[in-house]
Amino acid sequence: MNGLDNPAHKQTYPIYQYFKYDHLPPHLQAMSKPFHNMATNMLNTVGGSVKDDEIVIGLRKLLEAKDCFVRAAIDKGKGVNNSNDEAITQTQVGTPRFVDPVANAVMNEGRN
């Protein structure tokens, strides 16, 4: 069981579904499971049946971190060395799936 059976978490925070890990190969499950556990613990601690924007943002950032570490584990398995000093650009990473309306509002303040 990977904790996704809590209907309140799934219904209130749809992003929670992306913390599933049982579909991954064992070496990637080991990388992904701690993030699932953290998301579950956070929702059990501060989550509830009422959606909170800060919790959604926290889950999104945790998901982004999980995705980075899982990709690093995939690259390590392929023998890819990403230890260069060059910055990774948004083009290399791709477009984020989730939009942070608070961050966008702050970034776009005064740009009219």
The answer to whether residues 9 and 15 touch, using CB atoms and an 8 Å cutoff, is no
Q: Summarize pLDDT for 13-40 with one digit per residue, the tens.
A: 999 999 999 999 999 999 999 999 999 9
CA angle at 61 for the pair 103 and 83, rounded to the nearest 5°: 110
Chain-centroid distance of CA 49 in Å reads 20
Q: Summarize pLDDT for 51-109 with one digit per residue, the tens.
A: 889 999 999 999 999 999 999 999 988 766 655 534 444 344 444 444 455 545 544 55
Residue extents of the structural domains in the chain:
7-107
HEC string of 4-16?
CCCHHHHHHCHHH
- pLDDT at residue 92, as a whole number: 45
